[in-house]
Amino acid sequence: MDERKELMLYLHVPFCVRKCNYCDFLSFACTEETRSRYVDALCRELRERGREYSGRIVPSIFFGGGTPSLLSPAQLSKIMDCIRETFSVRADAEITMECNPGTVANLSQEQETEKLRGFRAAGINRLSIGLQSANDEELKLLGRIHDYQAFLKTYAIAREVGFTNVNVDLMNALPGQTLDTWKATLERVLALKPMPEHLSVYSLIMEEGTQFAAWESQGKFEGKLQIPSEELDREMYAYTGTRLREAGFSQYEISNYAREGYACQHNVGYWIRKDYLGIGLGSASLIDGVRYSNGTSLEEYLKDPLAGSEEEILTRSDQIEEFAFLGLRMNCGIRRADFETSFGEAWDGYWSEIIRKNVADGLLEEDAEGIRLTDRGRDLGNYVFSQFLFD
Ligand code: SF4
């Protein structure tokens, strides 16, 4: 077994064809020339920062965004070559790329096939496709650049070129969505052949500064476009868990479901607080208890990718809080032994009363190993997590 300390890699590609109406991620449209300069800046940052971590082993790489599938296969290969020259990447590393159907589906069948085959050849072995909804009216309202047919085309080609580990991102609690329209989306996704290995399902959050937030304050989300009530949101959540279990998925985190052996290793790494290095505009890193954040000005990043980076040393309390509220997101919960290995003491001094109360309320279950949320606790996750924060 390789004893080297692990370091996951995240690469941020902040470009999108256009902004979706609900999105508050760091992403924007750009020219081909900017994209090419950005790839060079990413490689520069990888080489500069990588020097410090030559003794680490990389178990997973994640290209997120924005829309990483806007890159060409040649650009992606250039970044992957740079990663392999700079870091030791485990032979079986999970290498994920987020893919937006609209960025490939406007190509001809041959071009799209070639593009996805190129990503595969560059080393991507897990594709995460942003579908969000299988209902074209909902996709239009969300401001997505694709319809359901475009997704079907991308999905089929992804399978054809050999992607055997595919996630589909979905969103519920959309304005105007009913339990029936949500069920129809789920059924369409479950009818895909072969079925996706992984599904991520998040409820829509009205983020400040988005088009959706503006429409909400202008009263657009009324009548037919009413935002689902909290009760309906919970009903959708409960239905999703039951239906996906029936279909052979197991829920391993509040919003994530996988067929056996396909939990996302990279995301699990975040929740158990593995070290990760974020490369690219606005990306964050957590290494040996220090959080680093890159600047968010594209102009400055292109000039000097290392300028504008800030560091915050996490206190012991910060780290203990994170251990609890990230770990409890997962269905397996948190283990006493892991706490003791990380912090050199038992957790009783911090949480025994909170655990007792939440067990009594049916929100947590406890055994000799540790604690985890119950089904009811998952429903009220934010309430449970808030109790594990220090004042
Ligand atoms: S594709 Fe993703 S990152 Fe880009 S605007 Fe839409 S939601 Fe945001």
Mapping DSSP onto H, E and C, the string for the chain reads: CCCCCECEEEEEECECCCCCCCCCCCCECCCHHHHHHHHHHHHHHHHHHHHHHCCCEEEEEEEEECCHHHCCHHHHHHHHHHHHHHCEEEEEEEEEEEECHHHHCCCCHHHHHHHHHHHHHHCCCEEEEEEECCCHHHHHHHCCCCCHHHHHHHHHHHHHCCCCCEEEEEEECCCCCCHHHHHHHHHHHHCCCCCCCEEEEEECCCCCCCHHHHHHHCCCCCHHHCCCCHHHHHHHHHHHHHHHHHCCCEEEECCEEECCCCCCHHHHHHHCCCCEEEECCCCEEEECCEEEECCCCHHHHHHCCCCCCEEEECCHHHHHHHHHHHHCCECCCEEHHHHHHHHCCCCHHHHHHHHHHHHHCCCEEECCCEEEECHHHHHCHHHHHHHCCCC
CA–CA dist 195, 199 (Å, integer): 10
Among 2-6, 86-90, 259-263, 308-312, which stretch is predicted with the lowest mean pLDDT?
2-6
Is the CB–ligand 1 distance for residue 171 below 6 Å? no
Ligand 1 center–CA 69 separation, angstroms: 12
Q: Which domains does the chain have, with CATH numbers?
A: 8-271 (3.20.20.70), 330-391 (1.10.10.920)
Ligand 1 center–CA 368 separation, angstroms: 43
Read off the pLDDT of residues 193-245 as tens digits, 9 standing for 90 and up. 999 999 999 999 999 999 999 999 999 999 999 999 999 999 999 999 999 99
For the record, the structure tokens of 124 come out as 């991507």
**Pocket of ligand 1, candidates 12, 23, 200: which has the most ligand atoms within 8 Å of its Cβ, to mutate?**
23
User: Are the beta carbons of 264 and 258 closer than 8 angstroms?
Assistant: yes
Among 17-21, 103-107, 154-158, which stretch is predicted with the lowest mean pLDDT?
103-107
Is the predicted pLDDT of residue 106 greater than 80, yes or no? no
Q: How many CB atoms lie within 10 A of CB 240?
A: 21
Is the CB–ligand 1 distance for residue 46 below 6 Å? no
The protein residue with its alpha carbon nearest to ligand 1, atom 6, reads: 20
**Cα Rg for the chain, rounded, in angstroms?**
21
Ligand 1 center–CA 149 separation, angstroms: 19
Read off the pLDDT of residues 3-29 as tens digits, 9 standing for 90 and up. 899 999 999 999 999 999 999 999 999
Provide the pLDDT for residue 104: 65
Bridge partners (DSSP) listed for residue 293 = 284, 310
Provide the pLDDT for residue 273: 95
Provide the pLDDT for residue 369: 96
Residues 6 or more apart from 161 whose CB is under 8 A from it? 113, 116, 117, 120
Is the CB–ligand 1 distance for residue 128 below 6 Å? no
Provide the pLDDT for residue 286: 97
CA dihedral 119, 124, 128, 129 (to 10 degrees): 10
Query: How far is CA 17 from each of CA 96, 143, 144, rounded to the nearest angstrom?
Result: 20, 11, 10
Ligand 1 center–CA 22 separation, angstroms: 8
What's the pLDDT band for 105 if we cut at 50, 70, 90? Answer: low
Is the predicted pLDDT of residue 281 greater than 70, yes or no? yes
Provide the pLDDT for residue 107: 76
Is the CB–ligand 1 distance for residue 227 below 6 Å? no
Residues 6 or more apart from 25 whose CB is under 8 A from it? 14, 65, 66
